[in-house]
Amino acid sequence: MTSIAETLGSSAPAARTTAERLADLAARHERALSGGSEAAVARQAARGRLTARERVARLLDPGSFVETGALVCSRTADGAGTEAYGDGVVTGYGTVGGRQVCVFSQDATVHGGSMGEAFGEKVVRTMDLALSTGCPIIGLNDSGGARIQEGVASLALYAELARRNVMASGVIPQISVIMGPCAGGAAYSPAITDFTVMVDGTSHMFVTGPDVIEAVTGERTTAEELGGARTSNSGNGNAHFLAEDEDDALDLVRVLLAYLPANNRESPPEYAFDPRALEPTPDDLRLDTVVPDRPEAAYDMREILRTVVDDGELLQVHELFAPNIICALARIEGRSVGVVANQPMHTAGVLDIDASEKAARFVRFCDAFGIPLLTFADVPGYLSGTHQEQAGIIRRGAKLLYAYAEATVPRVTVVVRKAYGGGYAVMGSKHLGADVNLAWPTARIAVMGAEGAVSVLHRRELAAAAAVGEQAVAELRAKLIEEYDTAWATPYAAAARGYIDAVITPSTTRAHLTRALRTLRGKRAAVPDRRHGNIPL
C-alpha cells in the first residue's frame, strides 16, 4: 500500500507560499471527502445504501455538521500510514432540531467500513466529546467488522468503544442505527446503547455469520434469518425500531431525540401543547365504554393511551417484540413521559420473560434520564408453564420488579381492569414506590381471577356437587364466581387500605394524570449510598 508521504505527494516540491499551502489543504480535503473508489461507491448505491456522508447530511440540520479527524490516515499493523484519509469513518458534531449531537458514520466504501486503529480512535474521541459536553451520541453502523490486517490493535479499540458505551450509559442518550452489516465484536456496542434502529432488508446484526455457522455446525441459514432487521426487531429484541429504508431510519432518530434530554442533568425538551380544558372531551367520554363487560374479552390498550396523551401520539419502543406489553414515549402538556401498559390484545397482557425484560429496560432508561413513568395495568399475572420456568422467569421476571422499585422519577399508575397476583405488585404498585395510584371501577385487584380462586377455595363443595351431576357443578361454580367477583374482584378493597389513591371515572383519566404530573414535577427522592445495585441479570 502507498505510504502517507507518497500519498500526500512529498516527492513533489514542498508548498512554500500561502497560496500553495491553501491549495494543498484544499486538495487534501477533496481527497478526504471523496471516500472510497468510484467502484465502491457504486456498489454501495446498488445495495440501496447511502454513503456515510450522505447519511450524516440527511440526519443533521442543514449546514450544521462540523467534521473532526477528516485528515486522519489509515495505519498498518506496524503503525505506518496508508493512503485512506478518514480510515473508513466520518466523525464530528452538529445539531438535530437545533440541539447539539455527536455522530460517527462508518464508511463501507473504505476498507469495507472495517474498524482499524485510527478508525477506532476517531470514534472513541467522538464519544469522549459527547460525554464531556453532555450531548447525545449517534452511531451509523455499516461495517465489515475488525480489520484483520491490523491485528490486535483493531480488537483493542472494540473494547475501548464498549468501555465508552458503559461510561456514557445513563449519562447521555446513545442511539445506534444499523444500515448494513454489523457483525462480530461490532455488534456488542449497539447492544449496550439505549436504542437501536435497523433498516428492513439491508441491515443485519449477529455475532457469527452464516458461512462460519455452516462451516462449524453444518447448519445452513441466511443473514436475514440469523440477524436481519425483522428477526432483530420481532424475534430476539436486539433492535427497538424497524425502518422501511434509510431515510425512514434517520427520521426515526430525529423523532426519538425530540423526546429525550441532552443528558441526565437536563430535562427533556418541552413543546407547545393544546391547552385543552380538563373537563372531559368527546374522546375522553369514549373511555367510559372501552373496557368490555366480559372480563375475558380483549380490547386495544392503545385506544386508552392515545386518548390521554398529547395529540394521540405514541412512539412505541420495541413495538414488534413482546407485543403483550407496550412501551412508548409520549407527551402530556408538552412534556415527555414514558408509558408502560399491558396489551390485552396479545396473550391477555400476561407478563412473560420477553415482556418483563423489555419493560424493565425501558423503565430503567426513563428513570436514568428523568422521564416520568405512566403505568396502565391490565395483567392476569406472570405466565406459567414449563418453558417459562425452565427459561428462568423467576430471575428474568424479577428484572421488572427491580426496575420499578429502583426508579425515582415521578410515577403514576392506572389499574384499568385485571391486576392479579404478582402482576398487581410489579406493574407500578404503591408498594414498589409509585407516587399516585388510580383505578377505574372496572379494576379487579385480587390474588387471582375468580375462576382459579373458586377452584382452590371451594374444591370440596365442587367435589360434593359433582356427585349430583355436571349441572349442579356448573350452577354452584357460577354462584361462587359471582360472590367472589362481588367481594374481591373490585378496586375497593385496595382503596380501603390506601393502596389505591382514588377510584376514578375513566373519562377523567387525562385530567387526573395531568394534575398528578404537575404536582410531582418537584419530586425529590433520596437513594442509599452505594456503588450500584445488583439487578438479577
SS3 sequence, 115-131?
A: ECHHHHHHHHHHHHHHH
Is residue 212's pLDDT more than 50?
yes
Is residue 151's pLDDT more than 90?
no
> Cα-flanking dihedrals φ and ψ of residue 317, to 5°?
-105, 135
Is residue 152's pLDDT more than 90?
no
List the domain boundaries for the chain.
4-257, 282-449+489-520, 452-488
Per residue in 398-409, pLDDT tens?
999 999 999 999
Report yes or no: 93 and 131 within 8 Å, Cβ to Cβ: no
Per residue in 411-427, pLDDT tens?
999 999 999 999 999 99
**What pLDDT shows up at residue 379?**
97
**What pLDDT shows up at residue 186?**
87
Per residue in 97-113, pLDDT tens?
999 999 999 998 888 88
The rounded distance, in Å, linking the Cα atoms of 418 and 40 is: 57
Is residue 8's pLDDT more than 60?
no
pTM across the whole model: 0.92
C-alpha grid cell for residue 169?
A: 450509559
Confidence of residue 30 (pLDDT cuts 50, 70, 90): confident
**What pLDDT shows up at residue 82?**
55
More confident of the two residues 186 and 303: 303
Q: Per-residue pLDDT averaged across 24-52, rounded?
A: 83
Name the average pLDDT for the chain: 91
Q: Per-residue pLDDT averaged across 147-157, rounded?
A: 81
The rounded distance, in Å, linking the Cα atoms of 412 and 516 is: 7
In the block, cell 390485552 appears at: 344
Confidence of residue 2 (pLDDT cuts 50, 70, 90): very low
Which amino acid does the sequence have at 314?
A: L
Query: Which residue pairs, CB below 8 angstroms and at least 24 apart, start in 311-314?
Result: 311/274, 314/339
- Kind of pairing between the strands at 325-332 and 315-317: antiparallel
- The percent of residues in the chain predicted with pLDDT above 90, rounded, is 69
**What pLDDT shows up at residue 467?**
81
Same CATH topology for 4-257 and 282-449+489-520: the answer is yes
- Please name which of 175, 288, 284, 298 lies closest in space to residue 240, comparing C-alpha atoms: 175
The rounded distance, in Å, linking the Cα atoms of 298 and 342 is: 11
The CATH architecture annotation of domain 282-449+489-520 reads Alpha-Beta Complex (3.90)
Confidence of residue 45 (pLDDT cuts 50, 70, 90): confident
Per residue in 481-504, pLDDT tens?
887 777 778 999 999 999 999 999
**What pLDDT shows up at residue 239?**
97
**What pLDDT shows up at residue 49?**
87
Report yes or no: 411 and 338 within 8 Å, Cβ to Cβ: no
Is residue 6's pLDDT more than 70?
no
**What pLDDT shows up at residue 10?**
46
**What pLDDT shows up at residue 7?**
46
The rounded distance, in Å, linking the Cα atoms of 510 and 306 is: 10
Q: 4-257: which CATH topology?
A: 2-enoyl-CoA Hydratase; Chain A, domain 1 (3.90.226)
Confidence of residue 46 (pLDDT cuts 50, 70, 90): confident
**What pLDDT shows up at residue 177?**
98
Confidence of residue 76 (pLDDT cuts 50, 70, 90): low
**What pLDDT shows up at residue 14?**
66
**What pLDDT shows up at residue 470?**
83
More confident of the two residues 219 and 31: 219
**What pLDDT shows up at residue 85?**
84
In the block, cell 367477583 appears at: 485
Is residue 81's pLDDT more than 60?
no
**What pLDDT shows up at residue 476?**
81
- Kind of pairing between the strands at 411-420 and 444-446: parallel
Query: Angle at Cα 130 formed by Cα 124 and Cα 134, nearest 5°?
Result: 150
Q: Per-residue pLDDT averaged across 183-205, rounded?
A: 93
